[in-house]
Amino acid sequence: MLTRSTIIILLNQTNEELLLDSRSQYLDNSRWKPGMEPPISILAGEYGVWASQSETTGGGNKGSLQYSISGLALYDPIILHWDNPYFGKNSYEPSRVPDGFELKVLGGEGIHATVVYVFSEQS
């Protein structure tokens, strides 16, 4: 029985394309929901949606991945992290955002959570 799941939405409110670093994908006690894997790219002004779910009954749901701005080196990524534990409070902290940009986190409550990351240029 599925105990925890997280839908992640990344809104790209920049003029830049975002590219997934497929090697950066990490899931702990989780798996991608079938048909809901992270998109390879998110075009400027568009959004990407993916979802992960717990693998075991009584387990939490935790993962991370990174996107890079097209044309910039992989050393300047956007690193996203989500944690929907079996016990305790959900957390969604960006580990890293390139200079000149910001990432806001909206929502994310509950055992079957939806979190929205809004990536934009700093105002």
Quick: pLDDT tens for 72-102.
766 689 999 999 999 999 999 877 899 999 9
User: Residue 62: which of 96, 97, 88, 34 has the closest Cα?
Assistant: 88
How many domains does the chain divide into? 1
Contact in structure between 64 and 95 (CB atoms under 8 Å):
yes
In the numeric block, the tokens 């702990």 are attached to 28
pLDDT at position 84 is 96
- Model pTM score: 0.93
pLDDT at position 19 is 96
Range of the domain at 46: 5-121
Confidence class for position 71, pLDDT limits 50, 70, 90: confident
User: pLDDT tens digit string along 28-43?
Assistant: 999 999 999 999 999 9
Domain of 16: which CATH number?
Answer: 2.60.270.50
Annotate the chain with three-state secondary structure: CCCCEEEEEEEEECCCCEEECHHHCEEECEEECCCCCCCCEECCCCEEEEEEEECCCCCCEEEEEEEEECCCCCCCCEEEEEEECCCCCCECCCCECCCCEEEEEEECCCCEEEEEEEEEECC
